[in-house]
Amino acid sequence: MKKFLLFLIVLALGAYAGAAYMLGGQAREQYFSAVKEYERYGFLSLSNQRYERGFFTSTAQTLVELKVPGTLTDSNDDEILRFVVGHVLHHGPLTGEGGNIFSKPGIMRITSTVEPLAAEGVGQTLFTRLPELAQTTSEVRVGFGGEVSGDVLIPAIDRDMDGEHVTWGGLALKGEYLPTTRALRGELAMPGLALKTADGNMELDALSSDFDMIEVLPFVYAGQATVGVSAMNITPAEGDAITVRDLRVSSNSSCDGALYHCSQVVGLESVDVGGTAYGPASCELTGRNIDAVALSEFQAGLRQLYHTMADTESEMFFDRVGELYAAFFAKMLTGTPELNMPHLRVATPMGDFTGAFSLKLLAPGAEAALNPLMLLQHLEAAAQMAVHEELLKGLLRIALENEQTEGDLDTLVQLRYAEQIEPLLARNLIVREDGIIKTQAMFASGKLTVNGQDMPIF
């Protein structure tokens, strides 16, 4: 009986070792496939430096090269930032560790660390001045169905450099990709950043982001994403301090197979400039009926450019990008795309500013899309705006102060305001209502109407 149990144990261990070794082969294939995909991608390139395969674990080294523009390094020429990322690939089927070894079975678990190169250049300078960056780590798990989940952790920094002090709370990124549903989810958190220099101080508090997207077509994602900053303070050595509170950007998008729809909302609680508070402020932009296939083709073409052209700052690269945009817009304009700003509102101590607009094309067809005059016959548009007169006068006062105009400022503001506003009121291009300047314009069937009055286009 004991011999039989021993035989079963040996058989199980042998089977596990064989499974681990086989999965080690899959791990190798997936690693080299990822390196090949980003062998050259614009300013980024990856290459394998070493790969050693074992029964239960394999090790690898990936050389990362990033092209850094000379404008960022005070150099006449671009420089290459090089460093190595070392990987330990833990073969499945058991990819857990310690007491959780039986949790999350899969093909492999990869732990990675940054390994600076002992070479001259921007890379050595970066890791010498900020050695904490060499402590960056990541852990990625690959499941049997191809699902990928993991995180990247960049440690905190607190040090003096060239008379400046940098305090950074680090950064954490978590993500997950599910190939069965093409879902991509993740979140990013940066507790804070503070920079003290001779020119002033800057503080950023609690940057966060999350996203939950689905790849509806190749390289086209739909879903929701948010970015937020709790507060940002800028205190220059001279001049007014600026404080921004609760900045939020949220995006939502969807696709019905043929048409892509998206919306974005930007809002902030307040902006304080020299003790004067402005806000809240908010704005919403929406795009509807965008040709999803054309968008997918555009993204694929742009991706191919980054793979094939090493110099992404060259005139030839931007020419090619321009061609892709031209082809995309030519296809999109043949449909019924819409661009709307349902609302824009900015509150100030001198009064509010509000506005809205909408643009819609009514299926002009390929021929009309390439002819601006014919395109106008298929365009519908509307816009409206309202602003307190005290706000307009306040903005005019700021402009005159910057011009350093001689004379009594209050008198100059009234004179300049009358010179600019009264002629517009006389022509009915704007109207005055209880101390608020308003206007409303509509365009349809090639005709423009402003405040109910027909206006010539040209």
Confidence of residue 25 (pLDDT cuts 50, 70, 90): low
Per residue in 57-94, pLDDT (tens digit) is 888 888 888 777 665 556 666 777 788 888 888 887 77
Confidence of residue 123 (pLDDT cuts 50, 70, 90): low
CA 374 to chain centre: 36
CB atoms within 10 A of CB 13: 10
Query: Residue 401 is which amino acid?
Result: E
Looking at residue 16, its pLDDT comes to 31
Residues β-bridged to residue 197: 200
Looking at residue 13, its pLDDT comes to 31
Confidence of residue 332 (pLDDT cuts 50, 70, 90): confident
Per residue in 154-166, pLDDT (tens digit) is 899 898 877 889 8
**Does residue 372 sit within a domain?**
yes
Number of domain units in the chain: 2
Residues β-bridged to residue 439: 385
Confidence of residue 108 (pLDDT cuts 50, 70, 90): confident
Non-local (6+) Cβ contacts of 154 within 8 A are 133, 136, 170, 171, 172
Buried b (16+ CB within 10 A) or exposed e, 40-58: bebbebbeeeebeeeeebb
Is residue 121's pLDDT more than 70?
no
Confidence of residue 352 (pLDDT cuts 50, 70, 90): very high
Residues β-bridged to residue 290: 260
Is residue 3's pLDDT more than 60?
no
**Does residue 18 sit within a domain?**
yes
Q: Is 79 or 100 the better-scoring residue by pLDDT? A: 79
Cα 106 to Cα 93: distance, rounded to the nearest angstrom:
5
**Does residue 452 sit within a domain?**
yes
In DSSP notation, 254-300 reads EE-SSEEEEEEEEEEEEEEETTEEE--EEEEEEEEEEEHHHHHHHHH
Cα 206 to Cα 230: distance, rounded to the nearest angstrom:
5
CA 456 to chain centre: 41
Domain boundaries, position 431? 333-458
Picking from 100, 129, 155, the residue at the C-terminal end of a domain is 155
Buried b (16+ CB within 10 A) or exposed e, 239-262: eeeebbbebbeebebebeeebbbe
Which helix or strand (DSSP H or E) is residue 125 part of? helix 122-129
**Does residue 254 sit within a domain?**
no
Per residue in 176-216, pLDDT (tens digit) is 999 899 999 999 999 999 999 989 999 999 999 999 999 99
Cα 91 to Cα 23: distance, rounded to the nearest angstrom:
6
Picking from 139, 155, 171, the residue at the C-terminal end of a domain is 155
CB atoms within 10 A of CB 189: 15
Picking from 106, 135, 155, the residue at the C-terminal end of a domain is 155
Per-chain mean pLDDT for the chain: 84
Q: Is 41 or 113 the better-scoring residue by pLDDT? A: 113
Looking at residue 443, its pLDDT comes to 93
**Does residue 247 sit within a domain?**
no
Cα 357 to Cα 346: distance, rounded to the nearest angstrom:
16
DSSP category for residue 74? T
**Does residue 204 sit within a domain?**
no
Is residue 268's pLDDT more than 70?
yes
Looking at residue 98, its pLDDT comes to 61
Tokens 């980003």 sit on residue: 38
Query: Residue 135 is which amino acid?
Result: Q
Task: Tell me the residue length of the chain.
Answer: 458
Looking at residue 27, its pLDDT comes to 66
**Does residue 310 sit within a domain?**
no
**Does residue 98 sit within a domain?**
yes
> Is 122:79 a contact under the CB 8 Å cutoff?
yes
> Is 20:89 a contact under the CB 8 Å cutoff?
no
Over residues 32-57, the mean pLDDT reads 81
CB atoms within 10 A of CB 314: 11
Q: Is 124 or 103 the better-scoring residue by pLDDT? A: 103
What proportion of the chain, given as a percentage, has pLDDT over 70?
87
Beta pairing, strands 281-291 & 351-361 = unpaired
Looking at residue 4, its pLDDT comes to 31
Confidence of residue 10 (pLDDT cuts 50, 70, 90): very low
